[in-house]
Amino acid sequence: METGSGRNRSVPTLEMVAALAGVSRATVSRVVNASPKVNPDIRAAVNEAIATLNYVPNRAARSLVSRRSQAVALVVPESTAKVFADPFFASVVQGIALSLAETDFTLNMIIASESRSEKTRRYLLGGNVDGAIVVSHHSGDHSYAHLGQALPIVFGGRPLTGADDSYYVDVDNDAGAATATAHLVGLGRRSIATIAGPQDMPPGVDRLNGWRHSLQSAGLDDSLIEVGDFSPESGTVAMRRLLDRGVPIDALFAANDQMAAGAYAAIRERGLRIPEDIAVVGFDDDYFGATATPALTTVHQPAVEMGATIAEVLVKLIEGTPVERVTRLSTKLMVRDSA
């Protein structure tokens, strides 16, 4: 009585359906689980009973006996949670949720903090979920990699550690950066600088590599590099340093839109024009790029698709269907006004 707002609407059980349909519980179970060997007439009768009773199978009971939770965990490291507002990340989550909605799997979101890591580990290994997704944009956090032995896990983003047997889905950062840089080269620019991201994060590394490869194959100088931390402020600082080198610069590839936006400020401080004096290309295609003036030419990432793909790979892994360990999604250059 004192438990407050409990459920009182009597939930129909499989047994009640069986009684109403005049069959055994086993048969109802077979119908519910779409077993092929059930007499069509009986099947119809059972389905009718299910409908009139508004029967919904009890997950806990099913899970208990089948040893399957039909749930997957979405693990979000707390450090990432802070940048939860990251539009890219948000879209990835959206893609995951949308894709999973098509299946029978439920999505359990859990924030994993350092302090609660043991709790998280237990949760994942305690049979609460059939698999897990670990996402952390702009980070190669694979501290859960070793759990891959015990539980199907798919990572969003390439792990930092090279030789890995993890399953992951990533955006082709290298190719995207190379395409962006090639665009600059195609525009006739010859002194192309870059503001790279942190070199301890895969996207930071991969995008720098893409820029470098593109420049090298064009036979251009690839020494105009400054490193930022993906924040607008770091972009401003890095751009100033680039300009302070005294070397003429006619183009910039920033490893993300936020730093590109920051670079805008530094470029303007020096009385230079965009794109006339310095053409700028960013990466991410987020708010920062969209609201900048002039509109930023940038590399768009298929975030929703990435989320959907992660979910699909995980489901296949859980179901034992063969899948590639690595899936790389291609990006698209959005040419606007800055380059």
Partner DNA sequence: TTGAAAGCGCTAACAG
Partner DNA sequence: CTGTTAGCGCTTTCAA
Four-residue CA torsion sign, 163, 167, 171, 176: positive
Return the one option of DNA, its own copies, none that residue 91 interacts with (CB less than 5 to 8 A, by type): its own copies
Binding map of its own copies across residues 312-331, x = CB under 8 A, - = no contact: -----xxxxx----------
- 40 vs 246, which CB is nearer to DNA? 40
Integer Cα distance of 95 and 308 in angstroms: 5
Neighbours of 301 (CB within 10 A): 25
Give the nearest distance from C-beta 26 to DNA in angstroms. Answer: 3
Return the one option of DNA, its own copies, none that residue 295 interacts with (CB less than 5 to 8 A, by type): none
The alpha carbon of residue 92 and the mean position of all alpha carbons in its chain are separated, in whole angstroms, by 4
Give the nearest distance from C-beta 318 to DNA in angstroms. Answer: 15
82 in Cβ contact with 231 (< 8 Å)? no
How many residues in the chain? 339
- Per CB under 8 A, the list member of 111, 160, 227, 295 interacting with its own copies is 111
The alpha carbon of residue 260 and the mean position of all alpha carbons in its chain are separated, in whole angstroms, by 22
Give the nearest distance from C-beta 82 to its own copies in angstroms. Answer: 8
| Segment 208 to 247, residues that bind its own copies, using CB under 8 A | 232
Query: Closest Cα to residue 287, out of 81, 96, 91?
Result: 91
**Sequence-ordered list of residues with C-beta below 8 angstroms from that of 9, at least 6 positions apart, any chain:** none
Give the nearest distance from C-beta 65 to DNA in angstroms. Answer: 3
Give the nearest distance from C-beta 264 to DNA in angstroms. Answer: 58
Report phi then psi at 333, rounded to 5. -80, 125
User: Does the protein bind its own copies through residue 25 (CB under 8 A)?
Assistant: no
Report phi then psi at 109, rounded to 5. -90, 125
Integer Cα distance of 91 and 235 in angstroms: 24
* Segment near its own copies (CB under 8 A); pick from 80-88, 176-184, 207-215, 327-335: 80-88
Classify residue 299 by burial, with Cβ atoms within 10 Å: 0-12, 13-18, 19+: buried
| Region of residue 238 (left: phi > 0; alpha: psi -120 to 50; beta: else) | alpha
Element (H, E) at 279: strand 279-284
Give the nearest distance from C-beta 77 to its own copies in angstroms. Answer: 12
* Segment near its own copies (CB under 8 A); pick from 19-27, 40-48, 109-117, 170-178: 109-117
Give the nearest distance from C-beta 68 to DNA in angstroms. Answer: 8
User: Does the protein bind its own copies through residue 187 (CB under 8 A)?
Assistant: no
- 62 vs 316, which CB is nearer to DNA? 62
Integer Cα distance of 68 and 60 in angstroms: 10
The string of DSSP letters for 10-63 reads PPP-HHHHHHHHTS-HHHHHHHHTT-S-S-HHHHHHHHHHHHHHT----HHHHH
- Per CB under 8 A, the list member of 21, 28, 30, 91 interacting with its own copies is 91
User: Does the protein bind its own copies through residue 5 (CB under 8 A)?
Assistant: yes
- 16 vs 110, which CB is nearer to DNA? 16
Give the nearest distance from C-beta 148 to DNA in angstroms. Answer: 23
Integer Cα distance of 191 and 180 in angstroms: 14
User: Does the protein bind its own copies through residue 108 (CB under 8 A)?
Assistant: yes
- Per CB under 8 A, the list member of 35, 161, 247, 287 interacting with its own copies is 287
What type of residue sits at position 118?
E
Q: Which residues bind DNA (CB under 7 A)?
A: 11, 13-15, 22-27, 29-30, 32-33, 36-39, 41-43, 55, 57-58, 61-62, 64-66
Give the nearest distance from C-beta 22 to its own copies in angstroms. Answer: 24
Binding site for its own copies (CB under 8 A): 2-7, 9, 11, 56-61, 63-64, 67, 69, 71, 74, 76, 81-82, 84-87, 90-91, 93-94, 97-98, 101, 106-111, 113, 116, 122, 125-128, 150-152, 232, 261, 287-288, 291, 317-321
